[in-house]
Amino acid sequence: MNAVTTQPRRPPRRYRVANAWWTVPAVLYLVLFFVTPMLTNAWRSTGSPAAAGARGIWENYAVLVTDPFYFGVLRETILVAVIVTLVCILLGYPLAYFMVRKAGRWKGLILFCLIAPLLTSVVMRAFGWRVLFANRGLMNSVLIDWGLLERPVNLVNHPVSVYVALIQILLPFMVLSISSVLQAIPRNLEEAARMLGASKLRAFFHVTLPLSVEGIITGAILVFVLCNGNFVAALLLGGNSVKTLPLLIYQQFNLTQDTSFAGAMGNVLLVIALLGLWAQSKFARKQGG
Amino acid sequence: MNKSVSLTLTDISKRYGQVTALKPMNLEVAPGELIALLGPSGCGKTTTLRIISGFETPDTGSVRIGTRDVTGLSPNMRDIGLMFQNYALFPHMTVAENVGFGLKMRGIAKAEAARRIETALDMVRMRNFGDRAISQLSGGQQQRIALARSLVVNPSVLLLDEPLGALDKKLREEMQFELRQLQRSFCITSILVTHDQEEALTMSDRVAVMGAGEIRQIGTPQDIYARPNSIFVSEFLGTSNIFSGKLRSGFFVADGVPALRIACTGEPDGPSSLVFRPEKLQITAAGKGQINARVRDVVFRGSQYTYELTVDGHEKPVIVYSQQSFDLPGDGVVGLDWSDAPVLLREVAE
């Protein structure tokens, strides 16, 4: 919280081995494979060779915002991200708290369980959920065996499976963001609050929670931005029941091949992501005082 | 001005698995009294503090504040103030919000709370600091705010956990007096947990020296200093010159130093030790004292000289404090004398 960072001092000039030319390969690489595609994409999004004729520069963007279908998709994209983020906060905070304050020697194991899935491809995990949620999948057969269900419920191609998969994919980012902040809060602050007459719950809400808001915000923005860009879950589990921008971009490229419209949608996603990062940096600066 | 009450610990004990942190312990703190729990780390003083404050449940025994049995009560219901070693001030609140936290938890009206916060800040001479952030305060200022925060709610008992440990020496000495004065003026029953003997001696009415999970000796600072009941206590409190030896037919004779022979009547025979405090020893001309010693080193410490002497047959150096410096003979041999009788202990150091 205390933004007292001491900049490491640079060694005197004559001891410096590195010079600016050393960055040339990296800069070239970035220009070639990052800046150029971005600019191409921006340029492409302004006009469509496919639609012969006079579409204005902002035509693609205008369609996105005015056309009820596309605006609906934009809205659903953000809605999915907001819901997933909120659920991740609700599930992630208690887990992070437990991990930092109560788990003791089990903390390492929990951390491993959180990080291990990140080493598996998102596509594999989405397929995993398909197997679990399928008509004759594990979930249905177990629930029917236990007599909790009469007939199988098909969750594949249903929004629930998309949400579940997204939450599973993104929860680790939330937990790690929150736990790293919780870790830094001295435990005796809670004890001080208790000694001053606060119940466990009030000590949490007056001391621990306010001090960990930074972790929640960081985690929320991370999850929100990553969720906005994720199309695998909607593609493999949603079956068109959840239409988000990334999914639509994927379809524009593969089916309609309207690359300029896809480019425009990509730029909108980019702007949303940049807004998120901007909000986070603004918050961080405010916290730093 | 305060509802001073007593604090009574009866047979409290605590084990963690195989480790006994605290043997059954009894302690009675009189209303308004300040008792220091003094001991090395791992002696059980912190466990005792955590049992009193309610963060640990004792395996046996009870904690009573006045007539109230608080053994099963959670920390927030005990009406105890605790000043933490590192102050534990809330970094997301201002100074005034920190001090007012306990009042807020007790649901005290804003105007009344503001008045009490101001009085408390006045009391610790931090009147105009209410709007400051905690990170803007120095260590000593944080310490005052922590004190104000724990006193503003008028607790029945005040616990001080190594309160001055984080301050530098000069500030620590100042704060010892200030803390003591505030504690006296509030007449609040207090327990000071410390491993610093000077802090314990200067601040407390009584000192309880703890070791290995029990109270080894309890009494006024003067009493414990002058009459330690064991080698452990004598070594932990102040500097001691200990001669081990044997008591036989009314005489103590030090091992290896036959010249050190003192009449001790009324004590049964057996292994014993003599304890000499450094300021009770005097340096004389060789042969004029009770035994002879050789000066190995002299250190000037401002208010006094510290002499380090060796005595033939005695392994450890003998420390003597003196107000004056002496013209030492060429061979460094001097006499050692004492006016007050040394303390006889019926045990020998391992």
Instruction: Enumerate the domain spans of chain A.
Output: 21-288
Mean pLDDT of B44-53: 93
* Window 138-197 of A, Cβ < 8 Å to B: 186, 188-189, 191-197
A78 touches chain B (CB under 8 A): no
Q: Architecture of domain A21-288 in CATH?
A: Orthogonal Bundle (1.10)
Least Cα separation, residue A184 to chain B (angstroms): 12
Least Cα separation, residue B92 to chain A (angstroms): 7
B123-155 residue pLDDT tens: 888 888 999 999 999 888 998 999 999 999 999
A207 touches chain B (CB under 8 A): yes
Mean pLDDT of B192-219: 92
Given this model, what pLDDT does residue A48 score?
56
Mean pLDDT of A255-283: 85
Alpha-carbon A122 to chain mean position: 13
B107 touches chain A (CB under 8 A): no
Least Cα separation, residue B74 to chain A (angstroms): 8
Given this model, what pLDDT does residue B96 score?
94
B334 in Cβ contact with B328 (< 8 Å): yes
pTM of the model: 0.80
- Predicted confidence band of residue A133 (pLDDT cuts 50, 70, 90): confident
Whether A196 sits inside 8 A of B101 (CB atoms) is: yes
B247-280 residue pLDDT tens: 888 888 888 888 888 888 778 888 889 899 998 8
* Window 2-41 of A, Cβ < 8 Å to B: 2
B88 touches chain A (CB under 8 A): yes
Q: How far apart are the first and last CA of chain A?
A: 9
What is the distance between the alpha carbons of residues B19 and B137, in angstroms, rounded to a whole number? Answer: 40
**pLDDT greater at residue A27 or residue B168:** A27
CB nearest A193 (choices: B81, B91, B101): B101
Smallest CA-to-CA distance from A270 within A3, A115, A1, A39 is with A39
What stretch of H or E contains B173?
helix B169-186
Given this model, what pLDDT does residue B89 score?
94
CB nearest A1 (choices: B91, B102, B106): B91
Given this model, what pLDDT does residue A59 score?
80
- Predicted confidence band of residue A90 (pLDDT cuts 50, 70, 90): very high
**DSSP collapsed to 3 states, A103-148:** CHHHHHHHHHHHHHHHHCCHHHHHHHHHHHHCCCCHHHHHHHHCCC
Contacts of residue B81 in chain A, CB cutoff 8 Å? 195
- Predicted confidence band of residue A286 (pLDDT cuts 50, 70, 90): low
Residue of A nearest to B102 (CA): A196
Whether A196 sits inside 8 A of B91 (CB atoms) is: no
CB nearest B84 (choices: A2, A192, A197): A192
**pLDDT greater at residue A157 or residue A7:** A157
Given this model, what pLDDT does residue A3 score?
45
Mean pLDDT of B296-302: 88
Return mean pLDDT, chain B: 89
Query: B318-322 and B157-161: which strand pairing?
Result: unpaired
How many alpha carbons lie under 13 Å from residue A235 in its C-beta half-sphere?
Answer: 16
Whether B76 sits inside 8 A of A188 (CB atoms) is: no
- To probe the interface with B, which of A101, A195, A211, A213 has the most B CB atoms within 10 Å? A195
Say whether pLDDT at A4 is over 50. no
**DSSP collapsed to 3 states, chain A:** CCCCCCCCCCCCHHHCCCCHHHHHHHHHHHHHHHHHHHHHHHHHCCCCCCCCCCCCCCHHHHHHHHCHHHHHHHHHHHHHHHHHHHHHHHHHHHHHHHHHHHCHHHHHHHHHHHHHHHHCCHHHHHHHHHHHHCCCCHHHHHHHHCCCCCCCCCCCCCHHHHHHHHHHHHHHHHHHHHHHHHHCCCHHHHHHHHHCCCCHHHHHHHHHHHHHHHHHHHHHHHHHHHHHHCCHHHHHHHCCCCCCHHHHHHHHHHHHCCHHHHHHHHHHHHHHHHHHHHHHHHHHHHHHC
B152 touches chain A (CB under 8 A): no
Whether B88 sits inside 8 A of A194 (CB atoms) is: no
What is the distance between the alpha carbons of residues B120 and B132, in angstroms, rounded to a whole number? Answer: 15
Contacts of residue A194 in chain B, CB cutoff 8 Å? 54-55, 74-76
Whether A289 sits inside 8 A of B101 (CB atoms) is: no
**pLDDT greater at residue B222 or residue A151:** B222
**pLDDT greater at residue B350 or residue A6:** B350
A256 in Cβ contact with A51 (< 8 Å): no
Say whether pLDDT at B113 is over 60. yes
Say whether pLDDT at A6 is over 80. no
Given this model, what pLDDT does residue A9 score?
63
Say whether pLDDT at A1 is over 50. no
Mean pLDDT of B165-172: 81
Instruction: Match 């997204």 to its residue by tokens.
Output: A166
Least Cα separation, residue B111 to chain A (angstroms): 19
* Window 84-143 of A, Cβ < 8 Å to B: none
Given this model, what pLDDT does residue A289 score?
40
Whether B150 sits inside 8 A of A195 (CB atoms) is: yes
Mean pLDDT of B156-183: 87
Q: Residue B341: how many CB atoms within 10 A of its CB?
A: 12
* Window 44-63 of B, Cβ < 8 Å to A: 53-55
- To probe the interface with A, which of B87, B93, B98, B105 has the most A CB atoms within 10 Å? B105
By percentage, how much of chain A surpasses pLDDT 90?
Answer: 34
B38 in Cβ contact with B197 (< 8 Å): yes
Give the pair of three-digit tokens for residue B240.
């001691």
Mean pLDDT of A76-104: 93
By percentage, how much of chain B surpasses pLDDT 70?
Answer: 99
Say whether pLDDT at A2 is over 70. no
Whether B133 sits inside 8 A of A289 (CB atoms) is: yes
Which residue stretches of B247-346 are H helix?
Answer: none
- Predicted confidence band of residue A93 (pLDDT cuts 50, 70, 90): very high
Given this model, what pLDDT does residue A145 score?
86
Query: B251-254 and B241-248: which strand pairing?
Result: antiparallel
Whether A206 sits inside 8 A of B102 (CB atoms) is: no
A163-193 residue pLDDT tens: 999 999 999 999 999 999 999 999 899 999 9
By percentage, how much of chain A surpasses pLDDT 70?
Answer: 90
**pLDDT greater at residue B158 or residue A10:** B158
For the ranges A149-153, A283-287, B281-285, the one whose mean pLDDT is highest: B281-285
Query: Degrees (nearest 5) of the Cα angle A215, A221, B89?
Result: 20
For the ranges A155-169, B200-214, B318-332, B334-348, the one whose mean pLDDT is highest: B200-214
Q: Residue B153: how many CB atoms within 10 A of its CB?
A: 22
Whether A199 sits inside 8 A of B92 (CB atoms) is: no
Given this model, what pLDDT does residue A255 score?
82
Give the pair of three-digit tokens for residue A79.
């809605």
Given this model, what pLDDT does residue A57 score?
73
Q: How far apart are the first and last CA of chain B?
A: 50
Query: Degrees (nearest 5) of the Cα angle B129, B142, B166?
Result: 160
